[in-house]
Amino acid sequence: MKAAQDPEIFKNFKHYEIYRRVVECNNWYSVGIQYFNVLKGQSPDFVHLVDQFRENDMIGNPVTQKYPEIGRFSAASLRYIKVAYDLGRMFGNLNKLNMVEIGGGYGGLGKMIQVMGSYASYTLIDLPPALELAKKYVEAAGLPNVSFIACDQLDQLKDHHYDLLVSNYAFSEINIAEQKEYISKLIDNVPNGYITFNFIAPNYGVNTLSVEDFAKALESKSRVVSIQPEVPQLGKRNVILTWTTP
Ligand SMILES: C[S@@+](CC[C@H](N)C(=O)[O-])C[C@H]1O[C@@H](n2cnc3c(N)ncnc32)[C@H](O)[C@@H]1O
């Protein structure tokens, strides 16, 4: 990916149409204000940290809009902040957790978690070109303890222990064979998880596991699974599936 190699492109990588379509989709005020309202209702304390959260928008020149009380933000940053607070509410203090994210893009969610109180370690798994961009971002953002694993190198996972797995609009977009590889090489070994499922894969001819079949696979490993509608709902039928281990 050119953004990882060319400093001039990296400076503006969030502004490019191709990037916005793949990663910061729905980066509009009408979406951002819904995240702002959810955050105000569920996690009003987030306003105390807005200047640190906004540092994400200082890298890569994203499209931003002006929101009440907090000033200019990209809608994507507000979404990452909302997910970070979801994780804190559901799994408690994250700063002792070894976290792993499937399809984390450039790593913006990790940045928001670091601002909120951090993680013990953060591993990003993605396509090799996306990881090159993530490495540049992580360096620019000064994020500590971040590792990178390419999605075709999942055997590397067997030497690692993770406490919490996250995946937003990524695990749900990959084909069944790859999903099953993630389940056997990673997900089966991670006691807690948070996955946002969207349902756009069939539009690209990609056949994925149903949420119900995925939940059954987790339950067969004694996980306690919850499936809730995504709020705000970015896509028709989107759900957030979480699991814990009693
Ligand atoms: C729609 S983006 C979501 C990015 C990020 N999670 C977010 O919420 O903004 C999908 C991500 O999945 C990644 N991806 C595609 N195939 C993958 C695979 N087989 N394993 C891991 N990540 C993959 C893409 O490179 C991209 O970073």
Domain boundaries of the chain, sorted by first residue: 2-76, 83-244
Cα distance between residue 40 and residue 196, in whole Å: 21
pLDDT of residue 9: 84
Which alpha helices (DSSP H) does 23-160 contain, by range?
29-42, 50-53, 75-91, 108-116, 128-141
CA of 52 to the centre of ligand 1 (A): 25
CATH topology of domain 83-244: Rossmann fold (3.40.50)
Cα distance between residue 25 and residue 31, in whole Å: 10
CA of 151 to the centre of ligand 1 (A): 10
pLDDT of residue 159: 85
Does position 186 have pLDDT exceeding 80, yes or no?
yes
Residue-wise pLDDT tens digits, 85-113: 999 999 999 999 999 999 999 999 999 99
Split at pLDDT 50, 70, 90, the class of 13 is: confident
Does position 25 have pLDDT exceeding 70, yes or no?
no
CA of 170 to the centre of ligand 1 (A): 4
Contact 82, 36 (CB under 8 A): no
Candidate from 22, 187, 194, 204 with most ligand 1 atoms within 8 A of CB, to mutate? 22
Does position 18 have pLDDT exceeding 80, yes or no?
no
The arithmetic mean of pLDDT across residues 59-73, rounded, is 95
| Bridge partner residues of 166 (DSSP) | 101, 194
Candidate from 20, 127, 196 with most ligand 1 atoms within 8 A of CB, to mutate? 127
pTM over cut 0.85:
yes
Which alpha helices (DSSP H) does 92-191 contain, by range?
108-116, 128-141, 176-185
User: Would you say the CB of residue 62 lies under 6 angstroms from ligand 1?
Assistant: no
| Residue 146: strand, helix, or coil | strand
Non-local CB neighbours of 100 within 8 Å, separated by 6+ positions: 122, 123, 125, 160, 162, 164, 165, 166, 186, 190
Q: What share of the chain is helix, strand, coil (3-state, %, to 5)?
A: 50, 20, 30
User: Would you say the CB of residue 134 lies under 6 angstroms from ligand 1?
Assistant: no
User: Would you say the CB of residue 127 lies under 6 angstroms from ligand 1?
Assistant: yes
Does position 20 have pLDDT exceeding 90, yes or no?
no
What are the structure tokens assigned to 70, written together? 């907090």
